[in-house]
Amino acid sequence: MAKKITLPRVAKGKNLIYLDDNSVDNILAMVMTLTQEISVLTDRLDTIENLMAKKGQINIDDINSFEPDNELQEKRSERRKILLKRVLLPIEKALDSK
Amino acid sequence: MNKQKHSMQPIPSHDEAVRQDFVTDFRAFLTDEIYPKITPYYQSKIEPDFIKEHGRKPEDKKEVQNVMLQDSAYQSWSFLQRISQQMMFTSVIDTVERTLDELIKKTKKYSELGSLELDQTIQIPRYLTAYDIHQQPGGYHTENTENDISAGVVYDISLPIYSGDAMGDENDLLAQATINFIKNNIKTVPKKILDMGCYIGNSTLPFAKAFPESEVYGIDVAAPGLRYAHARANALDASVHFSQQNAESMSFESNTFDIVTSCLFLHETSHAAIPKIINECARVLKPGGWMIHMDVYPFQRNVVEPLYDFLKDWEVINNNEDFSGALREMDLQGIFEEAGFSEETIEFTSAEASSETNKGYTGDFYLKLPVYVAQKMA
């Protein structure tokens, strides 16, 4: 079997520090990736719920080949926005001018 | 909504697709909800603090930068914007890595139209190897396997996420603006067109479609982009001749092209490269031929607003676009004249794209784009 190709996932460039130090930056990056994974899980659950409501019985291929229509896409976008708003509330608040 | 826009693009799995969707919504949130808070925040807090200390407003973008980079509220937005770009790439790389073998096999099928000429002896310029432009891991040129196209695919499928779906199904909105400009202002029917730094050809193909009688050429230094460009052009039924060449020194004969163009290319080169590239444009153009480069926002403005200038440079500092800030300071007029372009034809103006739907995070940026235009002396 051919060797599996792996692609690079980190870009070459200056190591910039944004907040107090690298570790604080790293934690914020990790929080955002976790938020992304929560969103992925929620969308998967949403797919399953939609399929169940329509078909009653489903299999793994049904889930993997599911494509949300525009209406469902918009609903999901709206829900992601609420998730982001919750997670990023402290940052939004800090930028609110009095 | 199908993410696959043509048959050389991979189809993401369920979870990959929604992971990518999250990044689109994350970027929309940062642009629409957080970014608009920065100017009022600056005006109500940062600037008054500066005035208290110095007895005057900040004079230029450097002074604004000095205070903003110390401010954790601003830096939080900036960092989030930066990592949204990283998350965009990691979420599309999963799809490309999983499907790469199949995609490379497909390139053999999609090879009939146009041509592809690679040059293994080419040196990748330092301005592309010193750091990865746009934070794309591996940059434009890295080869991860034989006949690699991965960097090209990654670029193609991340553009809709980057732009908030503003570029159109074929990622060609910017080239459409250039074509509109040519049709409205230059009014020539070109026989031969050259696109420099064409990469995946998303801004090259529209020329082949808009001017079906012309021969269209695309050059770039990065093989993974060119291999993909050729297959992609075939998948989209367009005939373009791609070759691996450095725009600073091309193998085309002199007086060959009616139009030489580029799209967001010049700002990814260097101080030393710009005059060489412009000289090459003049050399390969026929007498009376036109050069038209679409590039970064206008650089000689009368109104100077330090905060605006600072924010406009965001990509320079935070998204590995190091040269784009410096390009604005260069005397392009002088370089164009020196190369043999008629002084009275040199123009720094804008080209407009017509977007049927109001997409994109920041519509204005994509609909009115700076172009640098000049005609070679007849």
B251-308 confidence digits (pLDDT tens): 999 999 999 999 999 999 999 999 999 999 999 999 999 999 999 765 555 556 899 8
pLDDT band, residue B174 (cuts 50/70/90): very high
Question: Which residue has 């420099």 as its token pair?
Answer: B196
Element containing residue B101 per DSSP (H, E):
helix B72-109
Of the candidate ranges A26-35, B91-100, B157-166, the one whose mean pLDDT is the lowest: B157-166
How many CB atoms lie under 10 A from the CB of residue B228?
A: 31
pLDDT band, residue B363 (cuts 50/70/90): very low
Q: What is the mean pLDDT of residues B323-335?
A: 89
DSSP B203-219: TTHHHHHH-TTSEEEEE
Mean pLDDT score across all residues of chain B: 93
* Identity of residue B78: S
Beta-carbon separation of A36 and B91 below 8 A: yes
* Predicted-assembly ipTM surpassing the 0.90 threshold: yes
Of the candidate ranges A27-31, A52-56, A77-81, B99-103, the one whose mean pLDDT is the lowest: A52-56
Distance CA A14, CA B142 (A): 18
Report the gap between the CA of B245 and the closest CA in chain A (Å). 24
Q: What is the mean pLDDT of residues B8-28?
A: 97
Q: What is the mean pLDDT of residues B195-212?
A: 97
Nearest CA in chain B to A6: B97
Say what the pTM is.
Answer: 0.95
Beta-carbon separation of A25 and B132 below 8 A: no
Q: What is the mean pLDDT of residues A28-47?
A: 98
Burial of residue B356 (CB within 10 Å: 0-12, 13-18, 19+) is exposed
pLDDT band, residue B17 (cuts 50/70/90): very high
Distance CA B307, CA B144 (A): 41
- To test the contact with chain B by mutation, choose from A4, A5, A26 the residue with the greatest count of B C-beta atoms within 10 A, namely A5
Q: Is B314 on the interface with A (CB under 8 A)?
A: no
Q: What whole-number percentage of chain A has pLDDT above 90?
A: 89
C-beta separation of B350 from B370 below 8 A: yes
Phi, psi of B322 (to 5 degrees): -50, -40
Nearest to B25 among A7, A77, A88 (CB): A77
Task: Enumerate domains of chain B plus CATH numbers.
Answer: 163-375 (3.40.50.150)
**A2 pLDDT above the threshold of 90:** no
Q: What is the mean pLDDT of residues B182-201?
A: 94
Nearest to A11 among B21, B79, B137 (CB): B137
Distance CA B301, CA B304 (A): 7
- Pairs of residues, one from chain A and one from chain B, whose beta carbons lie less than 8 Å apart: 159
Report the gap between the CA of A37 and the closest CA in chain B (Å). 7
